[in-house]
Amino acid sequence: MKCQQCDKPAVFHITELEAGEVRELHLCEDHARVYLNQSEAAGGSPEPKPKGGGLTAPLGVGQTADELAALDQKACDMCGITFFEFRNQGRLGCPHDYVHFEKELEPLIANIHGATQHTGRRPSRPAVTGEPLPEGTEPLTAVIGMRTGMKEAIECEDYERAKELRDRIRDTEQRWLDRPTE
């Protein structure tokens, strides 16, 4: 793919979120640097809260191409999505990404919403039997990683490990799902 502003190959694939719409930019290294610097300058304006917000603006600040490249390769240990893939698609891979990429997402979310703490409704999980469930669902999301691990274990014919993971998945799901609904 060519850079959208010259004939050099596009190495930066930037996703901008504006008013909920996703806009994609494909730029060579030079044009990407120009673009990111512009975003940075724009982000420093006295406007209290930019509307829409950009996915890249917080990433451009003082980061070298190498640092960006390293960050792009960071992958979620549950669903496997890389930060690069997220930036490209504008969609996260699983609930754990909000924990795994928390540091990277924080400035981005602040930019979009002008806030970094939820203040709305929260789930109520009445304790029925045994230990009450936590408010956050991280322990249940861990099942995504266990399922991948189980598949891998089966492929390696490590049936002992596969069986252990299967039991852990079943126990976790039971703990979260066997609740009265009425």
Partner 1 sequence: MDPSAQMNLETLTNNVGEWLRGTGPESDIVMSSRVRLARNVAQYPFVSRASEQDRAEIEKFLRERIAMVPAGKELQYIDVGHLEEVDRQFLVERQLISRELADAQGARSVAIDGREQVSLMINEEDHLRIQCMHSGLDLKGVWDQIRLVDDQIERAVPYAFHPRWGYLTACPTNVGTGIRVSVMLHLPALVITRQIDKVFRSLHKISLAVRGLYGEGSQAMGDFYQISNQTTLGKTEEELLEQVGDVVPVLIDYERRAREFLVRETQQNVHDQVSRAYGILRTAQTITAEETMQLLSRVRMGVLLGLIGDVDISAINVLLVRTQPAHLQKLRGLELDTKDRNIERARYLRQHFEGNGPKAAAN
Tell the smallest beta-carbon distance from residue 4 to partner 1 (Å): 20
DSSP state of 22: E
Helix (H) / strand (E) containing 16: strand 12-18
Nearer to Zn ion, 6 or 22 (CB): 6
| Spatial separation of the C-alpha atoms in residues 15 and 87, rounded to whole Å | 6
Tell the smallest beta-carbon distance from residue 166 to partner 1 (Å): 14
Binding to partner 1, residues 91-110 (CB under 8 A)? 91-95, 98-99, 105, 108-109
117 near partner 1, rule: CB under 8 A: yes
3 near partner 1, rule: CB under 8 A: no
- Which one of partner 1, Zn ion, none is in contact with 52 (Cβ closer than 5 to 8 A by kind)? partner 1
Tell the smallest beta-carbon distance from residue 142 to partner 1 (Å): 9
174 near partner 1, rule: CB under 8 A: no
Residues in binding contact with partner 1, number by CB under 8 A: 50
| Spatial separation of the C-alpha atoms in residues 90 and 93, rounded to whole Å | 10
Which amino acid makes up residue 157? E
CA atoms 153, 156, 157, 160: torsion sign: negative
End-to-end CA distance of the chain: 55
